[in-house]
Amino acid sequence: MDNLNLINNFAEFKELKNIDKSTMISVLEDVFRHLLIKTYETDENFDIIINADTGDLEIWRNRIIVEDGAVENPNQQISISDARKLDPTYEVGEEVTDEIKLDSFGRRSVLSLRQNLASRILDLEKASLFEKYSERVGEIITGEVYQVWKKEILVLDDDDNELILPKSEQIPSDFFRKGDSIRAIVSKVEMRNNNPVIILSRTAPEFLERLFEQEVPEIFDGLITIKKIVRIPGERAKVAVESYDERIDPVGACVGMKGSRIYSIVKELRNENIDVVNWTNNPQLLIQRALNPAKISSITIDEEKKTASVYLKPSEVSLAIGKGGLNIRLASMLTGYDIDVYRDVEEEDVDLQEFSDEIDQWIIDALKGIGCDTAKSVLEIAPDELVRRTDLEEETIKEVIGILKSEFE
């Protein structure tokens, strides 16, 4: 067993695990110095030389030459007789440097060194992987499905690192087989039992945001900003965008010509419907845009309670609510307001004869005589015009108008 063989083995391991040379050398030296202290009780008089390019390692021991019989510490001193066996020109007081071979430590010590070195390098690799993916949280990665389990999918990246895609982070209609290519966002990185665990997600709003950045150059370049994204994964999403350049239509740019840009995103998200709306700081206008394609009649907002009452024509209510309530849920999530939808039903008209207990019949007949058969038909005519056309007293007309108006208040 020689030095070169041991170091070459770990040099290959180093290349495989992408540990930089300076770190590898530092670990090697630290492990060997630990062995020296264990064997000789000190490492102060030893020099460890490591060639980072070839993997060669040499250990040299420095000892002071003393008179024969005066050696007190064989590790730090050498007798003149033994020194002259190495070089006949040595004299007392000079320093002798000799190489320590690996096999001189004994088989058990070398085995322990190998295990220690392997453990240290493994810890380095874990730390390196944790740091690497901690810096990539929020980025899209492409990997290969290696194993599909009931609660999660094991994914391998380009360096064969293991990544986890939990069932809860998968789009409900996702279906993958071993060997499939998969895209997801790095959601979080955590240590479990001293092992780094990289969690992926396909349901996070950030995944949709990164997809938009890939497909829409204006977003990547910063000309268009995504202000907010809300999703019900696999079903529907709403994306609010804003442009800092008046010449750019942010919604049009995101959708693309004939939907060309958004098509690939929808396909990646298993046909998830995506609504892109223009962002505004005006809450009423934002709610109106968020409830598209429904046409709103009016909105009443309570800023303190963060609620909004939206009034629509009966035919528009189902559009505002959406299939399974998805549209109104997402609109509430996007705007930050609890939205309640109400039907804006016009008040029904009332036949004049219904007021016979309050208005004399001869007055009702006079109003009918000029074509006013309902309460609203009377109220639509100015009072002075009613006086002129019916020959009724002004006071009588005012009294009638008051009675009719009270019906609709």
Give the confidence band of 13 by pLDDT, cuts at 50, 70, 90. low
Average pLDDT over residues 50-77: 83
Burial class, 345, CB count within 10 angstroms (exposed 0-12 / middle 13-18 / buried 19+)? exposed
Pick the residue with more confidence: 83 or 55?
83
Domain spans of the chain, in order of start: 3-131, 138-201, 204-272, 280-346, 352-407
Model pTM?
Answer: 0.68
Name the CATH superfamily housing domain 138-201: Nucleic acid-binding proteins (2.40.50.140)
Give the confidence band of 344 by pLDDT, cuts at 50, 70, 90. confident
Average pLDDT over residues 353-368: 89
Burial class, 265, CB count within 10 angstroms (exposed 0-12 / middle 13-18 / buried 19+)? buried
Number of Cβ within 10 Å of residue 216's Cβ equals: 23
For 89-121, write each residue's pLDDT tens digit: 889 889 988 888 877 777 787 787 778 877 888
pLDDT score recorded for residue 74 = 87
Q: Bridge partners of 162? A: 156
Average pLDDT over residues 211-221: 94
Taking 70 as the threshold, does the pLDDT of residue 325 lie above it? yes
For 265-281, write each residue's pLDDT tens digit: 999 999 999 999 999 99
For 229-272, write each residue's pLDDT tens digit: 999 999 999 999 999 888 899 999 999 998 999 999 999 999 99
Structure tokens at 230: 């809300």
Taking 60 as the threshold, does the pLDDT of residue 3 lie above it? no
Burial class, 221, CB count within 10 angstroms (exposed 0-12 / middle 13-18 / buried 19+)? exposed
Domains 3-131 and 204-272 equal at CATH topology level = no
Task: Identify residue 114 by its one-letter amino acid code.
Answer: R
* Cis before 250? omega within 30: no
- CA 154 from chain centre, in angstroms, equals 19
Distance CA 199, CA 171 (A): 15
Which residue bears the tokens 């540990």?
Answer: 19
Distance CA 312, CA 321 (A): 11
Name the CATH superfamily housing domain 204-272: K homology (KH) domain (3.30.300.20)
DSSP label of 182: E
Taking 80 as the threshold, does the pLDDT of residue 385 lie above it? yes
Sign of CA dihedral 155, 157, 163, 164: negative
Q: Which CATH number fits domain 280-346: 3.30.300.20, 1.10.10.60, 3.40.50.300, 3.30.70.1350?
A: 3.30.300.20
Topology of domain 3-131 in CATH is: N Utilization Substance Protein A; Chain:P; domain 4 (3.30.1480)
Assign 3-state DSSP to the chain and report helix, strand, coil percentages, each to 5.
45, 25, 30
Distance CA 38, CA 148 (A): 47
Average pLDDT over residues 364-369: 91
